[in-house]
A and B are shown apart, each in its own frame.
Chain A
Amino acid sequence: MKLNSLLYSFRQGLKNIHRNKFYSLASVATMIVCIFMFGVFSAVVVNVNHVVREAEKGVAVVAYFDEGITDEQIAKIGDTIRARDEVESATYVSPEEAWEEFAPIYFGTEDPELTEDLIQDFAADNPLANSASYEIYLKDVSKQDELVKALSEVEGIRRVDSNEVVADTLTNFNKLVGYLSIGIIVLLFAVAVFLISNTVAVGIAVRREEIGIMKLIGATDVFIRAPFVIEGMILGLVGSGIPLVLVLLLYKRLEAFIESQFGMLAGVISFVPAGRVFSYLVPVSLCIGVGIGFIGSMLTIRKHLKV
């Protein structure tokens, strides 16, 4: 299609929208709700994922060694563990470190000096002499089962401890948020496609006579259809642009609010920066919006515009 014709089709598409304000407004409004919800859900999911990922860093698998294992063997096991894809990091905890961590809990008294003495007395005869271990952190908690199974089969490992409840809860929560938002969004998008296709159908009905004349004069299918496809895409574009701006403003506001009200929690509740969220949310939403407009108008055109 020539640029000239494209401009003409574009003007006709705008004219369709202008003539058919009520339907156009209804479909844009629905799109706005859809994309707004999509934006909010995405922002929530991204942030929940972010929090979960942070939480995951605290969930470790601990592998204990066989008795009388040599330092060399320990180092080799460490290499094996670190070579695995799902492993983020593995730290060696010596019996001395384990004792230092555990003793204050075990001997905890009112008097810190007395506690210190007790710990020193027992240090020489470390009750945890056999508790050397690797603390292993995963990139993704859902892979925990797999790792535990694999580690149990490694030569030199006596026992593997893991916290299954925490891992399962985090994984399930992630899934739930994901499925729920996908479900709601798919439903809303179906409504948006329906409304846009109806809007375009009204535009086609209004232009019946014009389309008839165009066909007789020798207009191509593409030329006859273009204004309606463009109409749908403009509705989709407007319907996704507006809510994106709204979500962005809301996000920034919330970020600033949390910052000012809970400044001391900055380390605990950390927002994913707006730039990172919107660098993908903007193109994805615009594509979805224009895509819905395109699909909605194509559905109607195929049905009502058999050229």
Chain B
Amino acid sequence: MIHMDNVSKAYSTGNPAVNEINLHIEKGEFVFIIGSSGAGKTTLFKLILKELEPSSGTITVAGQELNSMKRKQIPKFRRNIGVVFQDFRLLKDRSIYENIAFAQRVVETSSRRIRREVPQALSAVGLAERYRAYPSELSGGEQQRVALARALVNKPQLIMADEPTGNLDAQNAWEIMKMLEEINEQGTTVLVVTHNREIVDAMKKRVITLEDGRIVSDEKEGGYEHEA
């Protein structure tokens, strides 16, 4: 699903944020990426989404070689990936229903499919009844579930979440992680950046640790206990 070979990314200022990374994630995997702040996790995400160009190295995502990809092909490519952020990034001026429908409208889905699939996505995150509410009327956990529904509604092959539980209490964090695990069990590849030690240790998934832009460990059923 994701193949990175000798990938480096240096911003115009300072040392490379991502340094000589070799990373292979297969279809259907669930992978945690951990590491301290500034380790290069978000930069890695942006490289996978082709929001950033690598300074060197090659990246292949969902069978598509990103280096040679034309600008015009980027939107189609990104439809393979659902993204979730720490700060939810919901549109505050429209209802929950419209927030999810939005993801389908922008990829020009038919109205018929929108009417059918938005309620399905909301049910999947347990918010079927709240479709008329506005983001400001929901708790943080609920907002992140809406964001997850928005990432899911277009049925992507890959879900990438950048610190999805960073703003949530333990209870809500667990709920989100369990949902991501469920999504993964249905065949979607899931990539999660997190600082949540407890969850990572408990879930027994593949854990990749970044430090100063380099991969310092890649454990099959890893956890924070492997860190020095």
Contact = CB atoms under 8 A, between A and B. Distances in A.
A113 to B, nearest CB: 95
B108 A217 contact: no
Contacts of B89: 209, 212-213
18 contacts: A4-B105, A4-B110, A4-B111, A5-B108, A8-B105, A209-B89, A212-B89, A215-B78, A216-B51, A217-B78, A217-B79, A217-B83, A217-B106, A218-B76, A218-B106, A218-B107, A219-B107, A221-B75
Nearest to B150: A217
Residue picked from A1, A214, A216, most chain B C-beta under 10 Å: A216
Interface string A1-15: 110110010000000
Q: Is chain A's interface secondary structure helix, strand, loop, or mixed overall? A: helix
Nearest to A222: B75
A220 interface: yes
Given A213-B91, A218-B78, A223 B110 contact: no
Contacts of A212: 89
Contacts of B154: 217-218
B111 A223 contact: no
Contacts of B105: 4-5, 8
A88 interface: no
A2 B108 contact: yes
A218 B111 contact: no
Interface residues of B, number: 20
A210 B105 CA distance: 13
B111 A217 contact: no
Interface string B33-65: 000000000000000010100000000000000
A218 B75 contact: yes
- Size bin of chain A's contact surface: 10 to 19
B122 interface: no
Interface in B74-128: 75-79, 83, 89, 91, 102-103, 105-108, 110-111
A238 to B, nearest CB: 24
A217 B49 CA distance: 10
Interface in A1-54: 1-2, 4-5, 8
A264 to B, nearest CB: 65
A214 B106 contact: yes
Contacts, number: 47
Contacts of A216: 49, 51, 78, 83
Interface in B136-177: 154
B48 to A, nearest CB: 12
Contacts of B108: 1-2, 4-5, 223
B91 A219 contact: no
Nearest to A223: B106
Nearest to B107: A218
Given A4-B108, A215-B75, 17 more contacts: A1-B108, A2-B108, A2-B110, A8-B105, A209-B89, A213-B91, A213-B102, A215-B78, A216-B49, A217-B78, A217-B103, A218-B77, A218-B78, A218-B79, A219-B75, A219-B106, A223-B106
A148 B89 CA distance: 79
B75 A220 contact: yes
A217 B91 contact: no
A18 to B, nearest CB: 11
Contacts of B51: 216
B75 A210 contact: no
A2 B104 CA distance: 13
Nearest to A5: B108
Nearest to A2: B108
A30 to B, nearest CB: 28
The 7 closest A-B pairs by CB, nearest first: A218-B79, A219-B106, A218-B78, A218-B75, A220-B75, A5-B108, A214-B106
Contacts of A209: 89, 91
Interface string A274-293: 00000000000000000000
A218 B79 CA distance: 5
A214 B102 CA distance: 9
A231 to B, nearest CB: 16
Nearest to A213: B89
A210 B94 CA distance: 11
A223 B76 CA distance: 13
Contacts of A4: 105, 108, 110-111
A21 B108 CA distance: 29
Contacts of B78: 215-218
A267 B50 CA distance: 74
B96 to A, nearest CB: 15
A214 B99 CA distance: 11
Contacts of A217: 78-79, 83, 103, 106-107, 154
